Structure 1
Amino acid sequence: MAWPVRVTLAASVVVFLAPATLAQEHEHGAPRKIGTVHFATSCSAAAQKEFDRAVALLHSFQFSLAIQGFNAALGADSSCVIAYWGIALSQWSNPFAPGLKTKAQLEAGRDAAARGIAAGAKTERERGYLLAVSKLYAGFDTVPQQARLLAYRDAMEQLAANHPEDHEAQIFYALSLSASEEPTDKTYASRLKAGAILEKLFREQPDHPGLAHYLIHTYDVPPLAPKALEAARRYSEIAPDTPHALHMPSHTFTRVGYWQDSIASNRAAAASARREGQTAEELHASDYMAYAYLQTAQDLNALRVLESLPEIAARFDPKVTVSGAAPPAAGYFALAAIPARFALERRDWRRAASLELRQTPVPYADAIIIFARGMGAARLHDAPGAAASLFALQDLRSRLEKAGERYWAGQVEIQRLEVEAWADLAAGRREDALATMKSAAEMEDATEKSAVTPGPLAPARELLGEMLLELNEPARALEQFEATLAKEPGRFRALYGAAHAAQLAGNRAASRKYFAELLKVCDHADSDPRRPELLEASQALAAD
């Protein structure tokens, strides 16, 4: 698959390997500093050492290396049946990854759990782990994924209750709480419960990779993100030899608008992922990095990320489903999102409308390009172009619904409504446009973004604010930009929109406040060319 990019700023299977092979890979391929974990087992001392290392790797979502480690434990002690639990859970891969698990993953995980159960665990506790992980796979051909996640969560709750002294049981139970919470649950009850468990244990085990990691994921929603800052600062120090530990802090930094910290995290993560051959993880980190560059008007650096995609894509093998934290879907997502963001964040509508679509096995990744093209066409008053995108988005939404991808069908519907709203506005249907844009904003408010993305391609309330400016309602527009900033602090377009709307509404204090914040966020911005919004901000503040 070729990804030609020529742009300027002016125009626009559970595999049981032989022990000798395992030992060689373990010696030469495994990272060194991965944190401190002890998961008590009934295995031999030699197997226990391999097992603890494998669990530490699992906690940082280094799934292929973890599977190798659990196999190494079996190689050291064939009666170390609990190792099959580790293999089965590793096959599930990232519990926060987008979409449904593949059939190959499900079969491999089911078989590993079944093999462990059949072999007979030495203790009731170890049998409990095996029975719990089997819930993720039981009846996967007929039982929906969310139902299996809840069954696993309930089994882990019972295991943790039966063994309160077992910190690992508490940790994996907390993870199951966060990973199974519905994105429409705005009480965040499961996340808060998980966070309470993890915070207590993190104070007791400050070098545990899973505790720092899962606190970041657990609090990866706007109202809770500041609670993860300590874990975000610590995780890359706990497990610096794992690419995901270098990337994960940027989830929190993105949520709180710490853009330079996010850039630093993802530069390190992308380089580490490249060294480890985790190309999907490299792409995922690159998407977060590009997003941060664009929020700070470092467009030349964002362009460099964009221009790096052909070389990275040439190394991307979507057949590798269980490797690092990012699955193939995350790679496809990033390959679509980065060029779309580069156009949309800079309001380069012609570039957006002319983006090239390369169909992938991931409909919601394809929707990114189609949405950007549709938004670009609508802003350019290209009715046929917008209509084509609307038809394609509707088709993708239907395909996702039929595949059982309810969450992503909803995300694509939000994108479809946004394009429809701006197409209506271009056609002079002002009331229809505003009503449709409000519907998109309400839908987006009712859910959460996936961990696969640093943020929406264009937040719905930000788009609503821009539409209200078009309709000469700056005071109402300001409300929408401020609502966006409450969820997405430090967003360039929302800060500029708020400043401009306040200026038009005669709210001098608010205008100065947001123009000043915009300049502060963009203190690393390109000087040549400098975004016109920054020139406007400087002039507005100098004039007062």
Structure 2
Amino acid sequence: MIRTRLTTIAVVAMAAAFAQSALAAAPEALGKVHFQTSCKPDAQQDFDQAMLYQHSFWYRASQKSFEDALKADPECAIAYWGIALSLLYNPHVAPPVKNLAEGAAALEKGKALGAKTQRERDYIDALGAMYADYDKVDHRTRVLAYLKAMEQLAQRYPDDDEAQIYYALALNVAASPADKTYTNQLKGAAILEKIWTRQPEHPGIAHYLIHLYDTPALAEKGLAAARRYAKVAPAAAHAQHMPSHIFTRLGYWQESIASNIESGRVAKEAGDFHDQLHSMDYLVYAYLQLGQDGKAKAVIDDMTKVTGFTETFLPAPYALAVSPARYAMERGDWKAAAELQVRPSPLANVQAITYFARALGAARSGNPEAAKIDIAKLAELRDKLRDGKDGYWSEQVDIQRQVATAWVLYAEGKRDDALNAMSAAADAEDKTEKHPVTPGVPRPARELYGVMLLDSGNAKEALIAFEATLKKEPNRLGAYAGAATSAEKAGDKAKAREYYEKIVAIADGADGSRTEISDARAYLNKL
């Protein structure tokens, strides 16, 4: 039995390591982690340093430190486990194929070298489930196999906190987006909450609790971890960003902005361009909810200048595709949405974002024939994802196709068919979850259903749709605007006043370019 003890990696040692690797400026603090190994003392120190980086998803730095551990002790076989772990990148996203080949090779070296303890050999074997037949077996199947392997590891070593922590993370990664009981998330959170009391400075615990609670029904439970993580590991860009997952779920836009400005700064200095663009995506989303469109546009312009990321790893390409789509769709600039250019990408789900925005923009601009061309492309991309056994993203792209199709029907005057199709698309989206990489879909289907209901004269039903959107995604400016107008047209003066006041409050620092904000002020001035 092993009870992991805590040790603090000296700031001077970390600074020296970074000076040698030129990966980033010397970090001030990354938290406290100790992963007991059978390696020599110098290698143990490098290994613990690697784990600090790894628990904050700082992969280049963690891989470098694991490699340093091998240099300090060529017999440190468990370091190959660490290298393979680093090469997986963010476990919520399928890694590049190149990384899978390199990680599998690293694990084979570790096995061939032979770890000195059964526990270390078990760690290597468990991670092997993520790499086994990676060229033949899809990512989701391997994730489920890894979850089973980690469950067995955690059961075998109940007093090994690192085993429990990685099992909790695996529970979240493997959770079904259609499971609204959140069985995996609650189980993983219970494991981590218990360990947190004795390891309050462990970066992975606060980090993974945020991921586990990153859903509307659980977000309130994640506030403590969100408030804590950035303080535990202030030198890590991901630690600065992760609190915004919870802030976004709760509609705390100013907190999200502050979190992602700092995250983007740290990531830029470190040359971690995926983290930089990821934080900028969240920043754009938050600015748009406050009506600060000029600031959102400035961030988008800066995003186009970021280079040096991996096109086959989702966060950066996704951010570059979704942010201009958000900017057009949140502001109701349908002509601009229809004219968006599809950025070349090997990722079908990334291409789909722009085709969706184009299709919806064309339909809303009165050009259903142009929309149909982009809808056909969405169907093609959906099938490509389905053939690749990517069930989650194929479903998301199909929901986009359904939404765009509904608005084409509406543009063609087939209102009953359009409303039925839009209702079905909103139901489908409500049954799943947003991906951990994104702050939200380009625009919620339930909110767009409310827009269609309101436009067709069904104000009471529209109000229900907008209020349902706000329950799932609090403090969305577009949902407030829709709810206020719907309540006014439905004759519900109390709710109209409530929602117009929400608009004015949330848009206190807005640019003044949104008509819904000026309409809200005009309504309240008449009272």
Instruction: Name the TM-score, length of structure 1 as normaliser.
Output: 0.91
Match of 2:342 in 1: 357
Structure 2 matches for 1:507-526, cutoff 5 A? 507-526=492-511
The whole-number CA distance in structure 1 between the counterparts of 2:338 and 2:233 is 42
Residue 92 (structure 2) pairs with residue 96 (structure 1) = yes
For 1:435, the aligned partner's letter is: N
Q: Deviations over 1:328-347 (max 9, x none)?
A: 32111111111111111110
The whole-number CA distance in structure 2 between the counterparts of 1:27 and 1:141 is 31
The whole-number CA distance in structure 1 between the counterparts of 2:441 and 2:187 is 27
| Contact 1:336-1:368 at 8 Å conserved across structures | yes
For residue 470 of structure 1, the aligned residue among 455, 464, 486 is: 455
| Contact 2:19-2:25 at 8 Å conserved across structures | no
The whole-number CA distance in structure 1 between the counterparts of 2:224 and 2:34 is 23
For residue 278 of structure 1, the aligned residue among 267, 272, 282 is: 272
Q: Deviations over 1:237-296 (max 9, x none)?
A: 111111111111111100000000101111111111111111122111111000000000
For 2:171, the aligned partner's letter is: L
The whole-number CA distance in structure 2 between the counterparts of 1:52 and 1:506 is 63
Residue 397 (structure 2) pairs with residue 397 (structure 1) = no
Residue 411 (structure 2) pairs with residue 426 (structure 1) = yes
What is the CA-CA distance between 1:408 and the residue it aligns to?
0.9
Match of 2:11 in 1: none
Structure 2 matches for 1:425-504, cutoff 5 A? 425-504=410-489
Q: Deviations over 1:111-169 (max 9, x none)?
A: 11121122111111111111100111112222232222122112211211221211111
| Contact 2:334-2:364 at 8 Å conserved across structures | yes
Farther off after superposition, 114-123 or 447-456 = 114-123
What is the CA-CA distance between 1:405 and the residue it aligns to?
1.8
What is the CA-CA distance between 1:26 and the residue it aligns to?
7.4
For 2:200, the aligned partner's letter is: P
For residue 49 of structure 2, the aligned residue among 47, 53, 56 is: 53
Match of 1:258 in 2: 252
Structure 2 matches for 1:165-176, cutoff 5 A? 165-176=159-170
For 2:222, the aligned partner's letter is: A
For 1:371, the aligned partner's letter is: F
What is the CA-CA distance between 1:21 and the residue it aligns to?
9.9
For residue 322 of structure 2, the aligned residue among 328, 332, 337 is: 337
Residue 399 (structure 2) pairs with residue 409 (structure 1) = no
Farther off after superposition, 531-540 or 442-451 = 531-540
The whole-number CA distance in structure 1 between the counterparts of 2:151 and 2:24 is 38
Match of 1:79 in 2: 75
Residue 509 (structure 2) pairs with residue 536 (structure 1) = no
The whole-number CA distance in structure 2 between the counterparts of 1:391 and 1:224 is 37
The whole-number CA distance in structure 2 between the counterparts of 1:156 and 1:28 is 32
Q: Deviations over 1:366-403 (max 9, x none)?
A: 11111111111111111221111111111111111122
What is the CA-CA distance between 1:316 and the residue it aligns to?
3.2
The whole-number CA distance in structure 2 between the counterparts of 1:281 and 1:257 is 21
For 2:364, the aligned partner's letter is: R
Q: Percent identity?
A: 47
What is the CA-CA distance between 1:78 and the residue it aligns to?
1.6
Specify the SS of the correspondent of 1:455. Answer: coil
Match of 2:123 in 1: 129
Match of 2:299 in 1: 305
For 1:542, the aligned partner's letter is: N
What is the CA-CA distance between 1:468 and the residue it aligns to?
0.6
Farther off after superposition, 472-481 or 135-144 = 135-144
The whole-number CA distance in structure 2 between the counterparts of 1:309 and 1:25 is 26
| Gap change, CA 1:93 and 1:211, over 3 Å in 2 | same
Residue 227 (structure 2) pairs with residue 243 (structure 1) = no
Residue 272 (structure 2) pairs with residue 289 (structure 1) = no
Gaps of 5+ in 1: 1-19, 322-327
The whole-number CA distance in structure 2 between the counterparts of 1:161 and 1:127 is 15
What is the CA-CA distance between 1:24 and the residue it aligns to?
2.1
Specify the SS of the correspondent of 1:204. Answer: coil
For 1:69, the aligned partner's letter is: S
Q: Deviations over 1:387-428 (max 9, x none)?
A: 111111111111111222221111111111111111101111
| Contact 1:26-1:68 at 8 Å conserved across structures | no
The whole-number CA distance in structure 2 between the counterparts of 1:403 and 1:94 is 20
Residue 192 (structure 2) pairs with residue 198 (structure 1) = yes
| Contact 2:447-2:466 at 8 Å conserved across structures | yes
Structure 2 matches for 1:117-196, cutoff 5 A? 117-196=111-190
What is the CA-CA distance between 1:310 and the residue it aligns to?
2.7
Match of 2:32 in 1: 36
For 1:301, the aligned partner's letter is: K
The whole-number CA distance in structure 2 between the counterparts of 1:64 and 1:250 is 23
The whole-number CA distance in structure 2 between the counterparts of 1:84 and 1:297 is 49
The whole-number CA distance in structure 2 between the counterparts of 1:417 and 1:28 is 44
Specify the SS of the correspondent of 1:136. Answer: helix
| Contact 2:147-2:174 at 8 Å conserved across structures | yes
| Gap change, CA 1:28 and 1:222, over 3 Å in 2 | closer
For 2:116, the aligned partner's letter is: K
The whole-number CA distance in structure 1 between the counterparts of 2:416 and 2:386 is 29
What is the CA-CA distance between 1:318 and the residue it aligns to?
2.3
What is the CA-CA distance between 1:304 and the residue it aligns to?
0.8
Specify the SS of the correspondent of 1:311. Answer: coil
| Contact 1:22-1:68 at 8 Å conserved across structures | no
The whole-number CA distance in structure 2 between the counterparts of 1:358 and 1:91 is 26
RMSD after superposition? 1.7
RCO greater where, 1 or 2, for CA within 8 Å and sep 6 or more?
1
The structure 1 segments of at least 4 consecutive aligned residues displaced by more than 6 Å after TM superposition are 20-23
Farther off after superposition, 23-32 or 194-203 = 23-32
| Gap change, CA 1:350 and 1:24, over 3 Å in 2 | same
Match of 1:14 in 2: none
For residue 318 of structure 1, the aligned residue among 310, 315, 318 is: 310
The whole-number CA distance in structure 1 between the counterparts of 2:437 and 2:149 is 27
| Contact 1:22-1:71 at 8 Å conserved across structures | no
Residue 71 (structure 2) pairs with residue 67 (structure 1) = no
Gaps of 5+ in 2: 1-15
| Contact 1:349-1:376 at 8 Å conserved across structures | yes
